[in-house]
Structure 1
Amino acid sequence: MPEGDTVWNTARVLHRALAGHRLTGSDFRVPRLAATDLTGWTVHESASRGKHLLLRLTPPTDPSGHVEATATETTGQRWTLHSHLRMEGAWRTYRPGERWTARPAHLIRVVLYTDHAVAVGYHLHEVALMPTTEEDALLGHLGPDLLGPDWDAAEAARRLGAHPGTTIGEALLDQRNLAGVGNLYKCELLFLRGVSPWTPVGAVPDLPGLTALAHRLLAANRGRWTQSTTGSLHRGQTSYVYGRRAQPCRRCGTAIRKEVLGDRVTYWCPVCQPAHP
């Protein structure tokens, strides 16, 4: 499940494969961009913002250094290819000529070609091309990015606290409060802090401590694909409660429970995370 650390890792994979290289072709399989051709554009960098992926591009130039006319009808302006992974999305990179094996072909939404690599985006959401200067109009509402240079635990706690009647389980998933927490980290964070997911934000002690722990957990998993909150990378030992319905709690032995909170499944231990009165 793509969460902030997974998106951060994906951005780095794309950066290593594409950054500094000129696109030799592009294939957009989404209606809005079906006629767009990015041939000649150069990938400047790949970055992430919470759960959003941003491929920043510089326009092509002719041999004299002049900017050529492009499909986006701009002159000298950098553009950003934005995509969101949501629950099912993924980017994969391949060597030229290598078979694309990650997902069925009908799930492909974007293909970018260079002389050195091919990047294939599967089941992507919110695919859009925009001037890089307009990124903030799309992403400015997001809270501090847990893995970004703007991370601020106190600001994230302030945003959470601004809605005291919301359950903490729902508030942690609201990317306007802090960007990067998904369902896995929500469940694990609340277990580690001994807080029921149904507790109102206003009754949660030490919100700055909670947001600081969120940062530590995601940062610990940055750079690897196996997400672990327990410290173990062994199969079946990477989480305390997430995905462990009816299995014994690693602390008290009580069966882990699973219910729906908002529109997402929630795992918790009813003893280690007692319900708020």
Structure 2
Amino acid sequence: MPEGDTVWQAARRLHGALAGKVLTRSDLRVPQFATADLTGRTILDVTPRGKHLLTRIEGDLTLHSHLRMDGSWKVFEPGRRWSGGPAHQIRAILGTADRTAVGYRLPVLELLRTTDEERAVGHLGPDLLGPDWDPDKALQNLFRDPDRALGEALLDQRNLAGIGNVYKSELCFLLGVTPWLPVGALPSGLAAQLPDLAKKLLEFNRDRPARITTGRSDQHLYVYGRAPRPCLRCGTPIRVADQGDGSRERPTYWCPHCQAGPTPPPGGRRAVHQHRTTN
């Protein structure tokens, strides 16, 4: 699933292509809005909100989309062949005189009043890359359920908006705790660092084509996607397991030496405690 920095990049790309221009073509290929005609209206802006995209259109209209696992928006110049997937996967077309934005495999696509945007995104916590960012509020939200596993709490967009599986794993590694550690067991010093560290990671990567959390050009990530290769710090093989109730694919990576806290047993989801201190 695209994370906050990826969605921020998509919004910037769409805004640059469409904002301030009049729609000469509109085609929303979802039953509820298939008859909506937006031609003749001006695109005002495209704004990211966590993992959501809000395309605001003249006349108090907002096209709300969410990419989830497979969705994408592609921008094409006139005469260029569309290349985001087969035609039957197209869910939205927004065209101007010199650009066409095509939305592929969008699982969420709805047209609503701009004044009603809170219906779509009002549940979200502070946005790590948004003007509403509030580190104290984000930390307060995370600690509302102190028994919840830290990794699950970080993925809950109601707490803070923009973190996905990659940043969850990388953030927990940088804090030196496993994603299965209960939020309430997080030492106060680490808890105080968490919001600013999360924001720093996303801000550092929002303008980059390749996500980097290590500061290294030869190895971009500490743990995510690296099992069973050796940890960059200690050499211990990185491990991977699913986290959550199994309703969604949540691959979670960690170093069993560098990160303290509960871990899932081999072949199981239930966390077990690991009696070890952080280096």
Q: TM-score under structure 1 normalisation?
A: 0.90
- 1:140 is matched with which residue: 107, 116, 122? 122
Range that drifts further, 9-18 or 206-215: 206-215
- Cα RMSD over matched residues? 1.1
Cα shift readout 1:146-200 (whole Å, capped 9, x = no counterpart): 0001111111011000110100010000000000000000000000110111100
Contact 1:191–1:272 under 8 Å retained in 2 = yes
- 1:216 is matched with which residue: 185, 192, 200? 200
Give the corresponding residue for 1:191: 173
Q: Which amino acid aligns with 2:6?
A: T
- 1:154 is matched with which residue: 136, 149, 174? 136
Give the corresponding residue for 1:227: 211
Contact 2:64–2:120 under 8 Å retained in 1 = no
Q: Which amino acid aligns with 1:256?
A: I
Cα shift readout 1:45-82 (whole Å, capped 9, x = no counterpart): 000000000000003xxxxxxxxxxxxxxxxxx11000
> Alpha-carbon deviation of 1:233?
4.0
CA–CA separation in structure 1 for the residues paired with 2:135 and 2:217:
27
Give the corresponding residue for 1:109: 91
Q: Which amino acid aligns with 1:136?
A: E
Range that drifts further, 201-210 or 157-166: 201-210
Aligned-pair identity (%): 56
Give the corresponding residue for 1:126: 108
2:182 equivalent to 1:200: yes
Q: Which amino acid aligns with 2:253?
A: Y
Q: TM-score under structure 2 normalisation?
A: 0.90
Q: Which amino acid aligns with 1:203?
A: A
Q: Which amino acid aligns with 2:38?
A: L
> Alpha-carbon deviation of 1:28?
1.4
Give the corresponding residue for 1:64: none
Contact 1:173–1:181 under 8 Å retained in 2 = yes
Give the corresponding residue for 2:145: 163
Give the corresponding residue for 1:268: 254
> Alpha-carbon deviation of 1:232?
2.8
Contact 1:191–1:268 under 8 Å retained in 2 = yes
Give the corresponding residue for 2:220: 238
* Structure 1 gaps, min length 5: 60-77
Find the residue that maps to 1:137 and give its secondary structure: helix
- Tell me the matched-pair count: 257
**What pairs with 1:16-95 in structure 2 (closer than 5 Å)?**
16-59=16-59, 78-95=60-77
Contact 1:4–1:51 under 8 Å retained in 2 = yes
> Alpha-carbon deviation of 1:275?
2.4
Find the residue that maps to 1:5 and give its secondary structure: helix
- 1:257 is matched with which residue: 220, 224, 239? 239
CA–CA separation in structure 2 for the residues paired with 1:30 and 1:97:
26
Q: Which amino acid aligns with 1:169?
A: G
After TM superposition, the runs of 4+ consecutive aligned structure 1 residues lying more than 3 A away are none
Cα shift readout 1:90-141 (whole Å, capped 9, x = no counterpart): 1110002210012222221101110010000111122000110111122111
Contact 1:109–1:124 under 8 Å retained in 2 = yes
Q: Which amino acid aligns with 1:216?
A: K
Contact 1:95–1:118 under 8 Å retained in 2 = yes
Find the residue that maps to 1:109 and give its secondary structure: strand
Q: Which amino acid aligns with 1:22?
A: V
* Structure 2 gaps, min length 5: 263-272, 274-279
Cα shift readout 1:215-265 (whole Å, capped 9, x = no counterpart): 00000001222111112344xx11000000100000000000000110411
